[in-house]
């Protein structure tokens, strides 16, 4: 049964990437426990606008757990305290009346703060551009049953492809590593016949771009997989390491 609660918010405010930020305290009352976390922030911003104050800047788009833009660090967890969901799928029923909720942006040198809770995640786009495509002969679409791939392998590739590039893995990692993201994208293509042409070049290029952009090293703590809203497997990192080593040996 839905009811209303009052929450106290401790939110990071920062006017730009070169500005000094700080936490500011807010209060939102009569929040329905059936509303989403982002709807609660919408209520806060409506209050601030009515007072003539600057609303809190945060990212969102689909609000259906698909795009990954709703990247907030909530009470010490990327996307909040519930595993396997994005921030927009987090509901206020997971909090108690008079709770204090601390909200921060992703913390990574590769994800500079744009303003308040919004960060620039173009680094992920650059990694994908470095190697995230496939080459194949154009023409009529082949019959799906004629493609030489087992269901088991197709399922693993599909699981890897569910990565939405939100950056929770980077935010969760003590080193700010992007290995789980890169591993998911490399695995997605390395397992499919269509991805074989650039297989070695892709692993080299995406790892190189990841290092160039300032992401940290992976020390296999598993925090990335624990906080991933799409439950990407650590086995992808093992596969990336194998792909990268084979590519280097081929050189």
pLDDT value at position 134? 79
pLDDT value at position 145? 66
pLDDT value at position 88? 97
Measured between alpha carbons, how far is 184 from 209 in angstroms, rounded to an integer? 15
The domain 4-115 having CATH identifier 3.10.20.30: the answer here is: yes
Structure token pair of residue 208: 């190189």
pLDDT value at position 216? 95
pLDDT value at position 102? 98
Give the DSSP H or E segment for 244: helix 235-250
pTM strictly above 0.85: yes
pLDDT value at position 243? 95
Q: What residues contact 138, with CB distance under 8 A and at least 6 apart?
A: none
Q: What residues contact 240, with CB distance under 8 A and at least 6 apart?
A: 179, 182, 183, 186, 187, 203, 207
pLDDT value at position 194? 82
How many C-beta atoms lie closer than 10 Å to residue 181's C-beta?
A: 28
For 121-250, CATH gives: 1.10.1060.10
* Domain locations along the chain: 4-115, 121-250
pLDDT value at position 44? 98
pLDDT value at position 150? 86
Give the DSSP H or E segment for 32: strand 22-32
pLDDT value at position 204? 95
The tens-digit pLDDT sequence of the chain (251 residues) is: 689 999 999 999 999 999 999 999 999 999 999 999 999 999 999 999 999 999 999 999 999 999 999 999 999 999 999 999 999 999 999 999 999 999 999 999 999 999 999 999 999 999 999 987 777 777 776 676 666 788 899 899 999 999 999 999 999 999 999 999 999 999 999 998 888 889 999 999 999 999 999 999 999 999 999 999 999 999 999 999 999 999 999 87
């Amino acid at each position: 049964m839905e009811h209303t609660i009052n929450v106290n918010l401790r939110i990071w405010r920062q006017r730009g990437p070169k500005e000094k930020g700080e936490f500011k305290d807010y209060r939102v009352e009569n929040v329905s426990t059936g509303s989403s976390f982002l709807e609660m922030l919408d209520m806060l911003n409506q209050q601030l606008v009515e007072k003539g104050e600057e609303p809190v800047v945060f990212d969102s788009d689909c609000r259906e757990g698909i795009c990954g833009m709703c990247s907030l660090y909530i009470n010490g967890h990327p996307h909040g305290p519930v595993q396997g969901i994005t921030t927009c799928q987090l509901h206020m029923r997971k909090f108690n009346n008079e709770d204090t909720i601390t909200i921060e942006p992703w913390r990574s040198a590769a994800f500079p703060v744009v303003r308040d809770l919004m960060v620039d995640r173009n680094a992920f786009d650059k990694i994908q551009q470095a190697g995230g495509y496939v080459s194949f002969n154009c023409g009529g679409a082949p019959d799906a049953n004629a493609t030489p791939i087992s269901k088991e392998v197709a399922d693993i590739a599909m699981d890897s492809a569910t990565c939405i590039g939100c950056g929770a893995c980077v935010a969760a990692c003590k080193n700010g590593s992007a290995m789980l993201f890169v591993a998911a994208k490399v695995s997605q293509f390395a397992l499919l016949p269509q991805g074989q042409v650039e297989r070695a070049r892709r692993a080299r290029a995406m790892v190189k771009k990841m290092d160039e952009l300032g992401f940290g090293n992976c020390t296999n703590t598993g925090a990335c997989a624990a906080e991933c809203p799409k439950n990407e497997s650590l086995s992808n990192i093992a596969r990336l390491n194998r792909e990268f080593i084979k590519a280097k040996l081929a050189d």
